[in-house]
């Protein structure tokens, strides 16, 4: 069996190669749907195609299982609700990351952006919001810059000179988990962070118009804000200034599993 994780081009390529070689396929993170092929692009179409090829489908949540059941005319594999192995990795790593001591006294805001559909005006609007938040004077913004030059060029041009904004290359996973754990707030268009941050109890403003992870919205840990500069700033200011609003989104929740997805997937395969 070939196991493929998620919805990247490499996951689809792996599933297609296995299918053409006659090797059974297991899809980890099956059933996620935004129901819009353009958002995120090309991930939405990739995961739909992988699910149609897979023999075993490991849905992270009951909601993603419903999506697969709704497509029963084309999804022929056996389905299981397992949680996501990303949470297994997160919880294992968090136990190894030391508790931060000290710091600048400012609130840490972690910013990541890379969605292809936001390249251009969307990324520029996100950067404009980051500049306005950095000008508050009471926050430090950490932004790992995506290697896509169409993203990185814009981010460095807009944010490279502000003293309250730190741009880095891609972080090791350990450093990513440490940064998220310290953050007061996360601004992101990442799918994985939408799953990880609720387990850490860190509020997230999702820089997208739609999400395939509505469970995080339902848990209260995520809020969709799109790429409008004014809306991003207004929602971030509210969470930075209103302790009650922040606390309401900072309760740890585990809609995507509690760290035992790998064991459930292994049981299903066996």
184 and 64 share a domain? no
Domain with residue 9: its CATH number is 3.40.50.2000
**Is 116 annotated in the active site?**
yes
> Are 77 and 114 in the same domain?
no
Domain presence at residue 231? yes
Separation CA 211–CA 32 (nearest Å) = 9
The catalytic residue among 27, 115, 146, 208 is 146
Is there a catalytic annotation at residue 7? yes
Q: Is residue 138 assigned to a domain?
A: yes
Report which of 44, 42, 35 is spatially closest to residue 70, judged by C-alpha positions. 35
43 is catalytic: yes
Respond yes or no: is residue 195 known to be catalytic: no
Q: Is 235 a catalytic residue?
A: no
Is-above-0.85 flag for pTM? yes
Q: Are residues 201 and 112 in the same domain?
A: yes
Residue 65 forms part of a structural domain:
yes
Q: Domain span at residue 19?
A: 2-81
Are residues 68 and 125 part of one domain?
no
Q: Catalytic residue at 146?
A: yes
pLDDT in tens, the chain (270 residues): 999 999 999 999 999 999 999 999 999 999 999 999 988 899 999 999 999 999 999 999 999 999 999 999 999 999 999 999 999 999 999 999 987 665 678 999 999 999 888 999 999 999 999 999 999 999 999 999 999 999 999 999 999 999 999 999 999 999 999 999 999 999 999 999 999 999 999 999 999 999 999 999 999 999 999 999 999 999 999 999 999 999 999 999 999 999 999 999 999 999
**Exactly one of 43, 209, 212, 215 is catalytic; which is it?**
43
Task: Check whether residue 10 and residue 116 sit in a common domain.
Answer: no
Residue 62 maps to a domain: yes
Residues 117 and 234 in one domain: yes
Give yes or no: residues 75 and 203 share one domain.
no
| Cβ-proximal residues to 37 (8 Å cutoff; 6+ apart), any chain | 44, 45
Q: Of these residues, 7, 44, 51, 212, which one is catalytic?
A: 7
């Amino acid at each position: 069996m070939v196991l493929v994780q998620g919805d990247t081009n490499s996951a689809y390529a792996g599933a297609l190669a296995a299918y053409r070689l006659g090797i059974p396929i297991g899809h980890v993170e099956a059933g996620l749907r935004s129901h819009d092929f353009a958002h995120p692009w090309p991930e939405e179409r990739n995961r739909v195609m992988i699910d149609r090829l897979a023999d075993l489908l490991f849905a992270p949540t009951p909601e993603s299982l419903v999506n697969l059941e709704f497509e029963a005319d084309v999804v022929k594999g056996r389905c299981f609700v397992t949680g996501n192995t990303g949470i297994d990795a997160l919880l294992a790593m968090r136990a190894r990351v030391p508790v931060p001591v000290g710091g600048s006294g400012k609130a840490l805001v972690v910013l990541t952006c890379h969605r292809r559909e936001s390249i251009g005006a969307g990324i520029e609007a996100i950067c404009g919001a980051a500049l306005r938040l950095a000008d508050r004077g009471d926050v430090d913004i950490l932004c790992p810059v995506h290697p896509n030059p169409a993203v990185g060029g814009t981010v460095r041009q807009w944010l490279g000179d502000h003293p309250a904004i730190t741009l880095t290359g891609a972080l090791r996973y350990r450093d990513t988990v440490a940064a998220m754990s310290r953050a007061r707030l996360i601004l992101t268009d990442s799918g994985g962070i939408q799953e990880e941050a609720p387990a850490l109890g860190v509020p997230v403003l999702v820089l997208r118009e739609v999400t395939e992870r509505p469970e995080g919205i339902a848990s209260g840990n995520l809020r969709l804000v799109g790429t409008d500069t004014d809306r991003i700033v207004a929602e971030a200011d509210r969470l930075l200034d209103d302790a009650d609003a922040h606390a309401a989104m900072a309760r740890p929740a585990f809609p995507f599993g509690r760290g035992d997805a790998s064991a459930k997937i292994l049981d299903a395969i066996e």
